[in-house]
């Protein structure tokens, strides 16, 4: 009886690792997202050494070179019971590296698909010069990104959750700063509290509209393949914690199965 109980306990106490595959087109913010997750789960002393970024309290990830191969993050979720581990694979997004994704799909328990929400920012295309050309480039990039995801979905088990994480790569933060600086340069008559609030609100609406366009686009496309996804607005306050909670809950469920 002792050996039976001891064996059952050993089996229950054995660490269970939830493998998370983080992929997406090159330049879609995958490694920045991994750095934000690392910041959340790193020991306090290690976290202090990470440079900061405005918004969501994450590390500043500026000028990150494209990933060649993979980055890996192993951690025990802070809110998870003992024996629950998460491993995140961040794989390069260049077209030449995408065949590598297939090697990891069979071991993945969660798939995070990273996207650059700026491709759905129609207002940005209209305001820049050569608006039609910018719009065509954005459409081509959206199609290229979707084709990359559609190519691997048939190899992904139906019970593996798909999370679409959109990043703005600091785009809307820069626009906000520029808008406020423009009001300052315009003088006191223009730089009123009401004007500043209106400028910030307009950018928030623009960001929300881009996210709505992305969500509607991908929801419709995924429905055509019999799939669904959870969406994370990666630049919003608390988005990293939201994603970490998703990963933790899934890892805990795997441990309990």
Structural domains of the chain sorted by starting position, each given as residue range(s) with its CATH number in brackets: 2-168+229-256 (3.40.50.300)
pLDDT of residue 15: 78
Instruction: Establish whether 58 is an annotated binding residue.
Output: no
Residue 139 to residue 145: CA distance in whole angstroms: 10
In this prediction the pTM is 0.84
* Torsions phi, psi for 52 (to 5 deg): -95, 160
From the number of C-beta atoms within 10 Å of its C-beta (0-12, 13-18, 19+), residue 164 rates as buried
28 is in an annotated binding site: yes
Q: Is 129 annotated to bind ligand?
A: no
Residue 94 to residue 97: CA distance in whole angstroms: 5
**31 in a labelled binding site:** yes
**Of 41, 35, 165, 40, which is closest to residue 110 (Cα–Cα)?**
165
17 annotated ligand-binding residue: no
Angle (deg, nearest 10), helices 171-186 and 193-224: 160
208 is annotated as contributing to ligand binding? no
User: DSSP readout, 197-214?
Assistant: HHHHHHHHHHHHHHHHHH
pLDDT tens digit at each of 257 positions of the chain: 444 434 434 444 567 899 999 999 999 999 999 999 998 887 654 444 444 433 444 444 444 555 556 899 999 998 888 889 999 999 999 999 999 999 999 999 999 999 999 999 987 555 555 567 777 888 999 999 999 999 999 999 999 999 999 999 889 999 999 999 999 999 988 899 999 999 999 999 999 999 999 999 999 999 999 999 999 999 888 899 999 999 999 999 988 87
The Cα–Cα gap between 112 and 176 comes to 28
Q: Facing residues of 42 across strands?
A: none
Q: Is 99 annotated as a binding residue?
A: no
Structure tokens at 33: 């997202």
Say whether 29 counts as a known binding-site residue.
yes
Q: The dihedral of CA 161, 91, 99, 118: what is its sign?
A: positive
């Amino acid at each position: 009886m002792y050996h039976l109980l001891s064996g059952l306990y050993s089996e229950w106490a054995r660490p269970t690792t939830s493998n998370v595959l983080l992929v997406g087109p090159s330049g879609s913010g995958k490694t920045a997202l991994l750095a934000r997750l690392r910041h959340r789960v790193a020991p306090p002393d290690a976290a202090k050494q990470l440079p900061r970024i405005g918004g969501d309290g994450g590390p500043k990830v500026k000028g990150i070179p494209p990933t060649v191969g993979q980055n890996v993050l192993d951690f025990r979720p802070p809110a998870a019971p003992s024996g629950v581990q998460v491993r995140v694979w961040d794989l390069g997004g260049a077209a030449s590296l995408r065949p590598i994704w297939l090697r990891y799909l069979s071991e993945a328990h969660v798939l995070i698909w990273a996207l650059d929400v700026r491709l759905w920012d129609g207002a940005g295309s209209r305001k820049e010069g050569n608006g039609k050309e910018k719009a065509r480039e954005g459409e081509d990039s959206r199609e290229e990104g979707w084709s990359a995801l559609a190519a691997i979905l048939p190899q992904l088990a139906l019970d593996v959750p798909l999370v679409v994480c959109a990043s703005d790569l600091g785009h809307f933060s820069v626009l906000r700063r520029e808008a406020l600086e423009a009001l300052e340069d315009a003088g006191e008559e223009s730089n009123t509290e009401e004007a500043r609030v209106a400028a910030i609100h307009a950018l928030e609406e623009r960001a929300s509209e881009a996210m709505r366009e992305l969500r509607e686009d991908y929801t419709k496309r995924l429905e055509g393949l019999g799939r669904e996804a959870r969406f994370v607005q990666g630049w919003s306050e608390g988005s990293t914690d939201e994603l970490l909670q998703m990963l933790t809950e899934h890892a805990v469920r795997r441990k309990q199965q």
